[in-house]
Amino acid sequence: MREKFKNIIRGILGDNFTEAFLQKAKKNRSLFYLLTNTYSDFRLYYQYSTLFKLDNLKKEEALLILDYHSIEKGMLYLNMKPRFAQNRVERIHKYLKSENLLENLNRTQIEVTLKVMCKYYEIHQEKNINIEDYFSQELYEKYKLLLKNNYVKEFSGAIDSSYEDFYQNASASFDKFAISRKSIRTYTGEKVKPELIEKAISLSLTAPSVCNRQANTVYLLEDKEKIDKVLKIQGGFTGYEEKVSQLLILTNNRNYYYTVGERNQFYIDGGVFLLNLLYSLHFYNIASCPANWGKMVKDEKELDKIISIPKSEKIICLIPIGIATANFRVTLSKRRNVEETLKKLQ
Section 154-175 average pLDDT: 97
Q: Does residue 46 carry a pLDDT above 80? A: yes
Q: Report how far residue 13's alpha carbon sits from residue 3's, in angstroms, rounded to the nearest whole number.
A: 15
Kindly state whether residue 247 falls inside one of the protein's structural domains. Answer: yes
Q: Which of 135, 156, 177 is the last residue of a domain?
A: 156
Count up the domains in the chain and report the number.
2
Instruction: Verify that 225 and 307 share a domain, yes or no.
Output: yes
Section 210-233 average pLDDT: 98
Quick: pLDDT tens for 183-195. 999 999 999 999 9
Which range of residues forms the domain containing residue 200?
A: 161-330
Distance of CA 13 to the CA centre of its chain: 54
Kindly state whether residue 11 falls inside one of the protein's structural domains. Answer: no
Q: How much is the pTM? A: 0.91
Instruction: Verify that 145 and 170 share a domain, yes or no.
Output: no
Q: Which pairs count as long-range contacts for 126-130, CB under 8 Å and 24+ apart, including other chains?
A: 127/80, 127/82, 129/82, 129/83
Kindly state whether residue 300 falls inside one of the protein's structural domains. Answer: yes
Please report how the helices 57-74 and 86-95 are oriented relative to each other, as an axis angle in degrees rounded to 10: 150
Q: What is the mean pLDDT of the chain?
A: 94
Higher-scoring residue by pLDDT: 86, 9: 86
Instruction: Verify that 141 and 198 share a domain, yes or no.
Output: no
Q: Does residue 90 carry a pLDDT above 90? A: yes
Section 230-244 average pLDDT: 95
The per-residue pLDDT for 27 is: 79
Kindly state whether residue 26 falls inside one of the protein's structural domains. Answer: no
Instruction: Verify that 286 and 168 share a domain, yes or no.
Output: yes
Q: Which of 113, 130, 156 is the last residue of a domain?
A: 156
Instruction: Verify that 296 and 167 share a domain, yes or no.
Output: yes
Q: Which of 101, 130, 156 is the last residue of a domain?
A: 156
Q: Does residue 7 carry a pLDDT above 90? A: no
Instruction: Verify that 170 and 300 share a domain, yes or no.
Output: yes
Kindly state whether residue 207 falls inside one of the protein's structural domains. Answer: yes
Quick: pLDDT tens for 263-303. 999 999 999 999 999 999 999 999 999 999 999 999 999 99
The per-residue pLDDT for 79 is: 87
Residue type, 168: Q
Higher-scoring residue by pLDDT: 6, 123: 123
Q: Does residue 82 carry a pLDDT above 50? A: yes
